[in-house]
């Protein structure tokens, strides 16, 4: 008698100890009674290809990819989804039965789903969106904002040239605003997103002026440690609708878990609590 193989999945990054994905996926595996494992793996860039191409042979059905490998992994995949190509990075690999490695990026999906569920009244088409920051996270956010029909995206970054590079890639719907003018940019927006690392534990606060935020604007911060950043605290005081960044992390994991383990998991209070453990 051959026993069914226990599916394995995991997350590859370096460092990896801080990742919240293992607690989350393990919570879902337990909740749904799925006999699988989710393993964090600290892999150096020079070993990335060898590790990824070996994992399917060891019973892995896929892995998440995190910093610093999200771009590099695109060179290793056999198939890449359109959204991963647009973002220029992948966060999810699926090891297909035919041996092909499929790369996807679910960050934008997680971002939109977090806003839809955290702010049901959110209408992305109601007005311009303002994006602070122009790193990898901003690319995923911008691609998905365009996808949901935001009419205009105002983007501001300390290093202006990085915002201009995004404008080159994503086109005329983006308008670059000088970092010193970022406060004015926020006054115009009905959707506001911080994609910088400012406000994160151990980093300086986001010091952009926030006194002109529009009442009713939907404001989110990709920083989720702490959950309540200065941006979200002030936005709430100004009558904005605020959504913390933990939900993006939870929602981006949903399509991956479903593909690997055959069950669409629910993002609920228990999943949030598991990720925060």
Closer residue to ligand ATR (CB): 8 or 174:
174
Where are the alpha helices (H) located in 17-88, listed in sequence order?
21-31, 48-54, 82-87
Instruction: Determine whether the annotation assigns residue 203 to a binding site.
Output: no
124 touches ligand ATR by CB under 6 A: no
Return the closest-CA partner of residue 100 out of 74, 73, 78: 78
> In the annotation, is 70 catalytic?
yes
Closer residue to ligand ATR (CB): 21 or 27:
21
- For ligand ATR, the nearest residue by Cβ is 135
Whole-angstrom Cα distance, residue 258 to residue 150? Answer: 28
135 touches ligand ATR by CB under 6 A: yes
Strands 101-104 and 129-132: unpaired
Question: Shortest gap between Cβ of 207 and ligand ATR (angstroms)?
Answer: 8
- Cβ–Cβ < 8 Å for 190, 126: yes
Q: What angle do CA 145, 201, 144 make, to 5 degrees?
A: 10
195 touches ligand ATR by CB under 6 A: yes
* 13, 91, 109, 219, 220 from 226: Cα distances, Å: 22, 23, 22, 16, 13
Q: How many residues bind ligand ATR (CB under 6 A)?
A: 15
Exposed, middle or buried, 254 (CB in 10 Å: 0-12/13-18/19+)? buried
Which of the residues 254 through 273 are near ligand ATR (CB under 6 A)? Answer: none
Closer residue to ligand ATR (CB): 138 or 267:
138
53 touches ligand ATR by CB under 6 A: no
Binding mask 149-168 for ligand ATR (x = CB under 6 A): --------xxx--x------
* 36, 104, 107, 165 from 171: Cα distances, Å: 43, 23, 21, 10
Binding mask 18-37 for ligand ATR (x = CB under 6 A): --------------------
Whole-angstrom Cα distance, residue 149 to residue 146? Answer: 5
**Rg of the chain over CA atoms, in angstroms?**
19
How many Cβ atoms are within 10 Å of 97's Cβ, its own excluded?
A: 7
Question: Shortest gap between Cβ of 200 and ligand ATR (angstroms)?
Answer: 9
Instruction: Determine whether the annotation assigns residue 57 to a binding site.
Output: no
Question: Catalytic residue among 70, 72, 100, 172, which?
Answer: 70
Instruction: Determine whether the annotation assigns residue 171 to a binding site.
Output: no
Instruction: Determine whether the annotation assigns residue 19 to a binding site.
Output: yes
Binding site for ligand ATR (CB under 6 A): 133-138, 157-159, 162, 195-198, 204
- Residue positions in the annotated binding site? 19-21, 66, 82, 91, 107, 133-137, 157-162, 222, 224, 245, 252
Task: Give catalytic residue positions.
Answer: 70
- Residue positions in the annotated binding site for shikimate? 19-21, 66, 91, 107, 224, 252
């Amino acid at each position: 008698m051959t026993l069914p193989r226990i599916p394995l999945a995991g997350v590859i990054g370096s460092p990896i100890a801080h990742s919240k994905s293992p607690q989350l996926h393990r919570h879902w595996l337990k909740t749904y009674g799925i006999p699988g494992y989710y393993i964090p793996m600290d892999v150096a860039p020079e070993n990335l290809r060898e590790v990824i191409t070996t994992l399917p042979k060891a019973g892995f059905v896929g892995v998440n990819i995190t910093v610093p490998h999200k771009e590099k992994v695109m060179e290793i995949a056999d198939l890449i989804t359109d959204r991963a190509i647009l973002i220029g990075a992948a966060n999810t690999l699926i090891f297909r039965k035919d041996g092909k490695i499929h790369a996807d990026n679910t960050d934008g999906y997680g971002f939109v789903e977090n806003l839809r569920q955290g702010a049901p009244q959110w209408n992305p088409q109601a007005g311009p969106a303002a994006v602070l920051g122009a790193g990898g996270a901003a690319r995923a956010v911008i691609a998905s904002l365009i996808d949901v029909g935001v009419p205009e995206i105002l983007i501001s970054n300390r290093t202006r040239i990085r915002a201009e590079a995004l404008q080159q890639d994503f086109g005329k719907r983006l308008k670059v605003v000088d970092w010193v003018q970022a406060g004015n940019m926020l006054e115009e927006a009905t959707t506001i997103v911080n994609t910088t690392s400012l406000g994160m534990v151990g980093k300086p606060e986001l010091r952009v002026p926030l006194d002109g935020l529009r009442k009713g604007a939907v404001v989110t911060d990709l920083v989720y440690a702490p959950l309540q950043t200065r941006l979200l605290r002030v936005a709430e005081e100004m009558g904005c609708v605020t959504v913390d960044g933990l939900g993006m992390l939870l929602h981006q994991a949903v399509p991956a878990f479903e593909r690997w383990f055959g069950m669409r998991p629910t993002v609920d209070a228990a999943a949030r609590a598991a990720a925060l453990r």
